[in-house]
Chain A
Amino acid sequence: ETGVTQSPTHLIKTRGQQVTLRCSSQSGHNTVSWYQQALGQGPQFIFQYYREEENGRGNFPPRFSGLQFPNYSSELNVNALELDDSALYLCASSYPTGAAFFGQGTRLTVV
């Protein structure tokens, strides 16, 4: 167990809806990163938060947004859901330059 927990584990949403995914980081880790993993692919970096500030972003549109809270937990918000947003969403916590430890992921299905 990594100590990184994500909720919910599974979620079904309708196209056009909004979704919020949550992540509690491993104790002591002040950096949280979010990844999207499509079926059969490696995880793709969405963005990273360090001390409540966004600290780098991958090639994802602005409808993907996030927050980090003072306790270092984090949220990923996706607006105007599209069918292609169906994926496993992974949260990873770390120190800024250390190994990232992943949660079990949230399986999002958009119908």
Chain B
Amino acid sequence: GESVGLHLPTLSVQEGDNSIINCAYSNSASDYFIWYKQESGKGPQFIIDIRSNMDKRQGQRVTVLLNKTVKHLSLQIAATQPGDSAVYFCAETPPGGSTLGRLYFGRGTQLTVWP
């Protein structure tokens, strides 16, 4: 079955630094990827998405990079702030059929921002 994993379970950065959170995915046919942020006791919050026909997408302070050759996804957060402290998940959606719209999540990376 499909699986999404993360290279590092924890990441600590200083306030103001840039953060990079990595993710590996296993299904080369997956065509849609989403990054979520989950704070303690809350549901996952959409951050940014990217489709497989793109290799980079930018949002406000965040950039997602997709490398289909090595099935790797990364989330870059610029000028990390204490409010960015949370668990970050990448999720993939395989193409069409009965799996349409379902998300496969990895374990998540705990980002801690210290002053």
A residues contacting B by CB (< 8 A) are: 2, 4, 6, 31, 33, 35, 40-45, 48, 50, 55-56, 58, 90, 92, 94, 96-97, 99-105
Contacts and interface: CB of A to CB of B under 8 A. Distances in A.
Given A33-B101, A94-B101, A100-B103, A42 B43 contact: no
B114 interface: no
Interface of B: 4, 32, 34, 36, 42-46, 49, 89, 91, 93, 98-108
B35 to A, nearest CB: 10
B34 A97 contact: no
Nearest to B93: A97
A24 B103 CA distance: 19
B49, B98, B101, B107 interface centre (most CB from chain A within 10 Å): B101
A104 B46 CA distance: 12
A92 B102 CA distance: 10
Contact of B104 (A2, A45, A48, A55): A45
A56 B102 contact: yes
B44 A43 contact: yes
B49 A105 contact: no
Contact of B43 (A94, A97, A105): A105
A89 to B, nearest CB: 10
Contacts of A90: 43-44
Nearest to B6: A42
Nearest to B51: A97
Given A90-B44, A104-B42, A105-B42, A42 B108 contact: yes
B107 A42 contact: yes
A28 B85 CA distance: 31
A99 B100 contact: no
B32 A97 contact: yes
A42 B42 CA distance: 13
Contacts of A45: 102-104
A35 B103 CA distance: 9
Given A90-B44, A103-B43, A41 B107 contact: yes
